[in-house]
Chains A and B, each alone.
Chain A
Amino acid sequence: MKEEHKEGAHGHVEKYKYGMVIDLDKCTGCGACMVACMTENNVPFRKDESDKLVSTAWMRVFKATNGKSYPDIDVCYFPRPCMHCEGDHGHSPCVSVCPAVATDYDFETGIVSQIPTRCFGCRYCMAACPYHARYFNWWDPVWPDKMEKALSPDVSPRMRGVVEKCTFCFHRFQRARDKAYVEGRREIREDEYQTACTQACPADAITFGDLNNHEHEVYKLKKSPYAFRLLERLGTNPKVYYMSTRSWVRREGDNYLKGEKSK
């Protein structure tokens, strides 16, 4: 049963709280989520994408190792979308700092939005985000010949000089909501709103849904003893959970002092 209309931060009524649980033991680091995300959201790319410090990937897969050498080495891949932080006091790190309200917290869905037409490119939000989930458009988007025709009509391409980031495929939420309204429903079913990365993952490592809804898979998964969130200690209160049975992987999810016990 869904816990309807929970009181969220600042007393706002929170209808949904969309989030993700990523099973790191299933992730193979194939990058399909990154490709699906780029295609779905018209993420621009350049001929030479070798400099990752200036290339945009709303979903980026990071590689971590246990630091041991062969044969004890173990590798884990961390797919990292925007964490859609709520913050401990209702302040996402980025939303509270944006001087022009070009990024905002949607209390209906819990999604941190980005308004590229309002952003003027100060990059303060990028400085605020410890996950590097925000990207600046260093160039105007240029697609190879005829590729414009393959762009998604639901997502506006962004221009040079503004910041962009993962929106949990918010246009898919809008589409699902419209469909539900047309059909006379007020609730969106779990399978009606899924992000592109979730659907593209061949290992089924990503689960997406309403973290407040008891019937959604993410609700159950986030309660796993193996679930954790990235940099929880900072107080960002992210909506992306990770899962791993490997203790070193869970320790990689946050910073700990020497000798300090991890989650």
Chain B
Amino acid sequence: MDSALIPEGVKRCSFGKFALWIGFWSLLMLWALAGAGVCWLKGLNQTNLNDYFGFGAWITADLAIIALGAGAFFTGFMRYILGIEDFKPIINFVVIIGFICYSSALAILALDIGQPLRGWHIFWHANVHSMLTEVAFCISAYFMVLTIEYIPLVLENRQLDKIPLVHHFSHNLHHIMAVFAATGAFLSFFHQGSLGGVAGVLFGRPFAFRQHFAIWPTTFFLFIFSAIACGPCFTILVTRITELITRKKLVKQNVIVKLAKVSGWLLVGYLLVKTLDTVYWAMVTLPNMGVSFMDMYPESPFTIWILIAELGFCGVIPAIILITEKGRNNNLLLIPAAILTCIGICLNRYVMTVQALALPVMPFDNFVNYIPNWAEWVTSLAPFAYGAILISLSYRYLPVFPQEKELNP
């Protein structure tokens, strides 16, 4: 039925099967839209957020999804700026992943603000001292860059490519893509850092506050470091899931292994810097504020195990697997390592936002807990459904994987 739209020389499932698959994810998307709808119509009283937890599941999802999407800019940076040609076969796919992550983040942000129709105030009345302003500008601009990077791929659809104007337009866009990759890298380094800065500048919150290095808190650099370390792992994971579902090899092993190697060594570097930062925070920053390190991990779920899980189980273990040749070449080790790395980054973003707010600062204040409700859960998890739909459509109708034909003769 849609065979004329499918790229030449590749095999795809029947349209009926595809429609069923898309239908399943669309139902989940509808559920998420219902959650979003009640929040937009009735307000944030439809969530479990409260005055103690102004930040909750959404902000965690936002920060996590942006970190996971860092594979897009960083792979682009390695491919176009550093000139590492090995990443060429995966560059289309990372752009799609990045596009999904950033558009999801923007949608969740639109939900998270109390007055979505006033979202433009952040640009119009911009406070140049606020990290959130920097985040908003950079994310919006980078989303535009991702859209520009995605357009040539869409235009390469078999039918669209037949139109001479479209063909030449997309061809020329490809030629100047390095400019956009550089712009994207610049913007991304800044907004990944600014997201770290969002937490790090909160000098009223001992858990989040970090000493400044130059004009930024150390979390600025830690967030960049952790995002570029975990981004490639997320790319590996999504690629492997796509291969599992399509039951095809789509990217050569050397590309995946190289990504794993980059990710592994970046993770090692990140863990070293993060450990130093944590030690300084525990030994100097916190005592100056009158609190001890263990005061920051008072009770469930915010016990010391959350830190051990973040840096140990989801940091050191995957790092060891990824930096060893045997580890990254063995899928049975590589995939769990990639999963652990992604969980680690999500945990980090969770503690830096939710745990930072959960701990009472006034000695006579109470510790309160927060559990997201259905509207927060479905909207936070919606990017999975949205991602599945967009990847499926792209995979079916666009030449996403240049090595597919060669790997599946």
Question: Which residues does A use to contact B, with CB under 8 Å?
Answer: 51, 53-54, 56, 62-64, 78, 87, 91, 93, 96-102, 118-124, 126-132, 134-140, 159-163, 230-231, 233-236, 251-258, 260
Instruction: Indicate if the CB atoms of A254 and B290 lie closer than 8 Å.
Output: yes
B350 to chain A minimum Cβ distance, whole angstroms, is 14
Given that A135-B51, A136-B51 are contacting pairs, would A161 and B127 also be in contact in the complex, using a CB cutoff of 8 Å?
no
Instruction: Indicate if the CB atoms of A102 and B357 lie closer than 8 Å.
Output: no
B299 at the binding interface (Cβ < 8 Å)? no
Residue of A whose beta carbon sits closest to that of B45: A138
Question: 0/1 per residue, B360-379, Cβ < 8 Å to A?
Answer: 01111100100000000000
B356 at the binding interface (Cβ < 8 Å)? yes
B203 at the binding interface (Cβ < 8 Å)? yes
Instruction: Indicate if the CB atoms of A118 and B205 lie closer than 8 Å.
Output: no
Instruction: Indicate if the CB atoms of A93 and B204 lie closer than 8 Å.
Output: yes
B198 at the binding interface (Cβ < 8 Å)? yes
Q: What chain B residues lie within 8 Å of A97 (beta carbons)?
A: 130-132, 198, 201-202
Give the CA-CA distance A135 to B133 in the complex, in Å.
Answer: 21
Q: What chain B residues lie within 8 Å of A91 (beta carbons)?
A: 129
Residue of B whose beta carbon sits closest to that of A56: B51
Instruction: Indicate if the CB atoms of B362 and A137 lie closer than 8 Å.
Output: no
Give the CA-CA distance A72 to B368 in the complex, in Å.
Answer: 28
Q: Which of A128, A234, A258 contacts B292 (CB 8 A)?
A: A258
Question: 0/1 per residue, B97-133, Cβ < 8 Å to A?
Answer: 0000000000000001111101101101111011111
Instruction: Indicate if the CB atoms of A96 and B113 lie closer than 8 Å.
Output: no
Query: Which residue, of B50, B115, B289, B291, has the highest number of chain A Cβ atoms within 10 A?
Result: B115
Residue of B whose beta carbon sits closest to that of A140: B43
Q: What chain B residues lie within 8 Å of A53 (beta carbons)?
A: 50-53, 368
Instruction: Indicate if the CB atoms of B114 and A62 lie closer than 8 Å.
Output: no
Instruction: Indicate if the CB atoms of B43 and A161 lie closer than 8 Å.
Output: yes
Given that A53-B51, A129-B204 are contacting pairs, would A120 and B362 also be in contact in the complex, using a CB cutoff of 8 Å?
no
Interface residues of B in 255-307 (CB under 8 A from A): 287-292, 295
A147 to chain B minimum Cβ distance, whole angstroms, is 21
Instruction: Indicate if the CB atoms of B44 and A100 lie closer than 8 Å.
Output: no
Give the CA-CA distance A98 to B151 in the complex, in Å.
Answer: 35
Interface residues of B in 196-230 (CB under 8 A from A): 198, 201-206
B54 at the binding interface (Cβ < 8 Å)? yes
Question: Which residues does B use to contact A, with CB under 8 Å?
Answer: 43-45, 50-55, 112-116, 118-119, 121-122, 124-127, 129-133, 136, 198, 201-206, 287-292, 295, 353, 356-357, 361-365, 368
Residue of B whose beta carbon sits closest to that of A46: B45
**21 sample A-B contacts, Cβ–Cβ < 8 Å, listed by A number:** A51-B50, A53-B51, A54-B50, A96-B201, A100-B121, A100-B124, A119-B121, A121-B114, A122-B122, A124-B198, A127-B356, A128-B202, A131-B204, A138-B45, A160-B43, A160-B45, A161-B44, A234-B289, A234-B361, A236-B203, A260-B290
Instruction: Indicate if the CB atoms of A120 and B132 lie closer than 8 Å.
Output: no
B287 to chain A minimum Cβ distance, whole angstroms, is 6
Number of A-B contacts (CB under 8 A): 170
Residue of B whose beta carbon sits closest to that of A161: B114
Residue of A whose beta carbon sits closest to that of B353: A127
Instruction: Indicate if the CB atoms of A130 and B45 lie closer than 8 Å.
Output: no
Q: Which of A98, A234, A252, A254 contacts B130 (CB 8 A)?
A: A98
Instruction: Indicate if the CB atoms of A231 and B121 lie closer than 8 Å.
Output: no
B57 to chain A minimum Cβ distance, whole angstroms, is 14
Instruction: Indicate if the CB atoms of A162 and B204 lie closer than 8 Å.
Output: no
B55 to chain A minimum Cβ distance, whole angstroms, is 5
Instruction: Indicate if the CB atoms of B125 and A257 lie closer than 8 Å.
Output: no
Instruction: Indicate if the CB atoms of A231 and B356 lie closer than 8 Å.
Output: no
Q: What chain B residues lie within 8 Å of A124 (beta carbons)?
A: 54, 130, 132, 198
Q: Which of A98, A130, A257, A258 contacts B362 (CB 8 A)?
A: A130
Residue of A whose beta carbon sits closest to that of B120: A120
Give the CA-CA distance A51 to B54 in the complex, in Å.
Answer: 15
Give the CA-CA distance A249 to B163 in the complex, in Å.
Answer: 78
Give the CA-CA distance A127 to B127 in the complex, in Å.
Answer: 17
B107 to chain A minimum Cβ distance, whole angstroms, is 15
Q: What chain B residues lie within 8 Å of A235 (beta carbons)?
A: 203
Instruction: Indicate if the CB atoms of B204 and A236 lie closer than 8 Å.
Output: yes
Give the CA-CA distance A111 to B43 in the complex, in Å.
Answer: 30
Given that A99-B133, A256-B290 are contacting pairs, would A130 and B52 also be in contact in the complex, using a CB cutoff of 8 Å?
no
Q: Which of B50, B202, B364 contacts A64 (CB 8 A)?
A: B364
A248 to chain B minimum Cβ distance, whole angstroms, is 10
Q: What chain B residues lie within 8 Å of A128 (beta carbons)?
A: 202, 204-205
Q: Which of B44, B118, B290 contacts A257 (CB 8 A)?
A: B290
Instruction: Indicate if the CB atoms of B130 and A257 lie closer than 8 Å.
Output: no
B216 to chain A minimum Cβ distance, whole angstroms, is 14
Instruction: Indicate if the CB atoms of A126 and B45 lie closer than 8 Å.
Output: no
Q: Which of B126, B353, B357 contacts A100 (CB 8 A)?
A: B126
Residue of A whose beta carbon sits closest to that of B208: A127
5 closest Cβ pairs, A-B complex: A121-B114, A161-B114, A123-B54, A255-B290, A64-B364
Q: Which of A62, A120, A132, A138 contacts B121 (CB 8 A)?
A: A120
Residue of A whose beta carbon sits closest to that of B121: A100
A62 to chain B minimum Cβ distance, whole angstroms, is 5
Q: What chain B residues lie within 8 Å of A160 (beta carbons)?
A: 43, 45, 114
Give the CA-CA distance A35 to B287 in the complex, in Å.
Answer: 38
Instruction: Indicate if the CB atoms of A99 and B290 lie closer than 8 Å.
Output: no
Given that A128-B202, A235-B203 are contacting pairs, would A136 and B115 also be in contact in the complex, using a CB cutoff of 8 Å?
no
Q: What chain B residues lie within 8 Å of A256 (beta carbons)?
A: 290
Q: What chain A residues lie within 8 Å of B353 (beta carbons)?
A: 127
B364 to chain A minimum Cβ distance, whole angstroms, is 4
Instruction: Indicate if the CB atoms of B119 and A120 lie closer than 8 Å.
Output: yes
Given that A120-B115, A236-B203 are contacting pairs, would A96 and B129 also be in contact in the complex, using a CB cutoff of 8 Å?
yes
Q: What chain B residues lie within 8 Å of A258 (beta carbons)?
A: 292
Residue of B whose beta carbon sits closest to that of A103: B127
Query: Which residue, of B53, B113, B119, B362, has the highest number of chain A Cβ atoms within 10 A?
Result: B362
Instruction: Indicate if the CB atoms of A120 and B118 lie closer than 8 Å.
Output: yes
